[in-house]
Amino acid sequence: MLAATGISQPSCAMNNYGRMIDYPSKPRKVAPVDSKYFWIIRQHLRKIWVRVVSFALLAVLTLALTPVLSPLIPTDVGASLGSVSVDQILTILASSMLAVTTFSLSIAVSAFAAAAANATPRATAILQQDPTTQNVLSTFLGAFLFSLIGLIGLRTDYYDRSGQVFLFMATLVVVALVVIALLRWIGHISNFGRMHDILTRVERAATISFRHQLENPYLRARPLSGRVPDDAYPIAPTRTGYVQHIDIKALNDCANEHGVELYIDALPGTFVHAAAQLVRVRGASLSAKQQQFLRDAFTIETKRSFDQDPRFALIVLSEIASRALSPAVNDPGTAISVIGHLVRVLSTLKEPQEPPVDYPLVHVPAVRPTDMIIDAFRPIARDGATFIEVQIRLQKALASLDSIAPEIFGRPVAKLSAYAIARANDAGMCQEELASLEALRVESRTGSNTGRDDDTWKTM
């Protein structure tokens, strides 16, 4: 179809590091990037209400199956058990679980508030998705619903003698689950929401996002090399917000169906509005309905997400360091710790040797190393300009990245190293301290192809 429209399909292109990439002639058997609907389902599965509803339905199902399964229990087993024993246990369980659930929820809310106040409000989303907290709260609420429904069944004579025995055994299982959940919760709340816990969680989210970026470079589309053709016309969004997810497969299917090529302008994390450009189309003219289909492939919300946006996690870590360096907090130790987390995250970035191209009709720009370095370290260099210990650790971190991946981070870290020293000089750091920073300055490596977007640094 593309041949009929005169659109060429090159077999190779220039990657973000100035090297040629040869595309394989045969398609790869790789896992596709999440479609929009599957991604939305995954977002909902991370919410606490899903686990709460699951535990509640399991409790209701257990009680509903009691009359069906109770005939399997020998009659002599329940000779010494009456409805009074089960009734008392369920009454204690119902009253205690309601109090424990309320108390545990207040602890979780306090941890969310503390994280927003001491770290950054963007970190609370990660705490809210903590599986241990969600499982514990769901267990407590599920046990409460189980005991409440069980009491209703007993008081209405829903269970016979065998049913009461089965309910008693099921209650013992629920009590065991509650005890296990309590033990887990006691050990969990001792560290939940503390600064080290928040930094570890954000680093984990960043590492997962970067690994997804490495496994799916350019979202498995064709890398955008050079300029977008002049005959490509733009499509603007109808919503204002941040791009959270792009359904590349839907875009590629639409392009294949209508004989066009698509050039992505708004990567995940980009703030878009009515005057911005989501994607540019080259080839046939698309109808208003077809253009709306392209817009629907972009999930636009009011806040950013970690999934397809690796830079967002870097910004969150940097925000934590900036708050720690504020005069109200004055905690350079936390900023130094954040620098270590940032180095560990960025050290996972490696150049893709042969990025898989499953969606050749969509062109996606690269996430620039310069942008990553700016997101991660520029706020720390600015807000920590008067802290010599922070500046020394920053220079050493930049040197580490330069040694780990010189072709990726060579020029960006050299420019940020010079920027940090200039900030320290403007902040009035003494000459002796400036001399120690100059000794650690990262020099630009000759011949590096990275960091070619020098205009970015003119705004610093």
**Average predicted confidence (pLDDT) for the chain:** 82
How far apart are the C-alpha atoms of 197 and 188, rounded to whole Å? 11
| pLDDT per position as a tens digit, 371-384 | 999 999 999 999 99
Angle at the Cα of 132 from the Cα atoms of 127 and 136, rounded to 5 degrees: 115
Q: What is the DSSP letter of 28?
A: P
Report yes or no: 141 and 182 within 8 Å, Cβ to Cβ. no
Provide the pLDDT for residue 212. 83
Report yes or no: 273 and 248 within 8 Å, Cβ to Cβ. no
Tokens at residue 115, please?
């994280």
Provide the pLDDT for residue 357. 85
Provide the pLDDT for residue 354. 67
Provide the pLDDT for residue 5. 40
Single-letter amino acid code for the residue at 456 = T
Provide the pLDDT for residue 351. 64
State mean pLDDT over 357-370. 89
| pLDDT > 90 in the chain, percent | 40
| pLDDT per position as a tens digit, 237-290 | 999 999 998 999 999 999 999 999 999 999 999 999 999 999 999 988 899 999
Provide the pLDDT for residue 446. 47
**Taking 80 as the threshold, does the pLDDT of residue 168 lie above it?**
yes
Residue 426 pLDDT level (bands cut at 50, 70, 90)? very high
State mean pLDDT over 16-28. 38
Length of the chain: 460
The mean-pLDDT minimum among 45-59, 140-154, 243-257, 304-318 falls in 45-59
Report yes or no: 206 and 306 within 8 Å, Cβ to Cβ. yes
Look up the pTM and report it: 0.78
Residue 447 pLDDT level (bands cut at 50, 70, 90)? very low
| pLDDT per position as a tens digit, 274-288 | 999 999 999 888 999
Between 297 and 32, the more confident residue is: 297
**Taking 50 as the threshold, does the pLDDT of residue 3 lie above it?**
no
Burial bucket for residue 454 (CB in 10 Å: 0-12, 13-18, 19+): exposed
State mean pLDDT over 50-62. 77
- Number of helical (H) and strand (E) elements in the chain, helices listed first: 16, 10
Tokens at residue 354, please?
């042969």
Helices assigned H by DSSP within 298-405: 310-324, 332-346, 369-383, 388-404
How far apart are the C-alpha atoms of 198 and 374, rounded to whole Å? 22
Single-letter amino acid code for the residue at 354 = E
**Which of 10, 1, 392 shows the shortest CA–CA distance to 226?**
10
